Amino acid sequence: MTLAVLIAFFVRLLLVGLFLPFSALDKVRNFEGAVGQATGIGISRGVGAALICVGLFVEVVMSLGVLTGAADRLAAFILAGYCVATALLYKRFWAEGDFAWRGASRGRDLFWDFMKNFALAGGFLLITFGTTAPTTGAFFADPLSSTHPYASVPIGAQP
């Protein structure tokens, strides 16, 4: 295993580490608490439990896709959408009514969590679309394709 492969794996592990294992494990070990948080936005307990199960599936399966490189573009795209959706649903800093730049402020704390979700979504979109203009169309051409993150020679590069 080369240093480049280790770095590629480590970077992807950092990106998904929030979800797998930590958030996924928290949902399993504290399912009732997770459902309670989900119902905090005004949905029923049944819908909340279903959303937590969907979230658990997304966190585990899509994180594994990003880590292994199996359909990693689609997996990263779904995780980016998941980050945006959870920011909009659960990091509603504007609804706190106490946003302040100085002193204690629940709104400001949620604002930074909101922004972190969007930054994480950006990292996943880099996997989805690539880092250069010529690679942005690859996802639309074949959404189930892989970026082949652990290939010894990058796809399209000269050996």
What pLDDT does residue 159 have? Answer: 43
What pLDDT does residue 134 have? Answer: 85
Inter-CA distances, 147 with 92, 115, 136, Å:
34, 27, 12
What pLDDT does residue 156 have? Answer: 55
In contact, 97 and 81? CB cutoff 8 Å: no
pTM of the model: 0.90
Q: Closest by alpha carbon to 139, among 59, 71, 69?
A: 71
In contact, 99 and 107? CB cutoff 8 Å: yes
Q: What is the mean pLDDT of each run of 10 residues along the chain (159 residues)?
A: 91 96 96 95 96 97 97 97 96 89 89 96 96 87 92 58
What pLDDT does residue 158 have? Answer: 47
Calculate ∠ Cα 132-134-138, nearest 5°. 100
Tokens 């009514």 belong to which residue? 97
In contact, 43 and 51? CB cutoff 8 Å: yes
Q: Closest by alpha carbon to 27, among 16, 35, 39, 18?
A: 35
**Which residues have CB under 8 Å from 53's CB, separation 6+?**
none
What pLDDT does residue 135 have? Answer: 85
Q: Give me the numbers of helices (H) and strands (E) for the chain, helices first please.
A: 8, 0
What pLDDT does residue 29 have? Answer: 97
Q: Closest by alpha carbon to 71, among 153, 137, 3, 138?
A: 138
What is the domain partition of the chain in residue ranges? 3-136
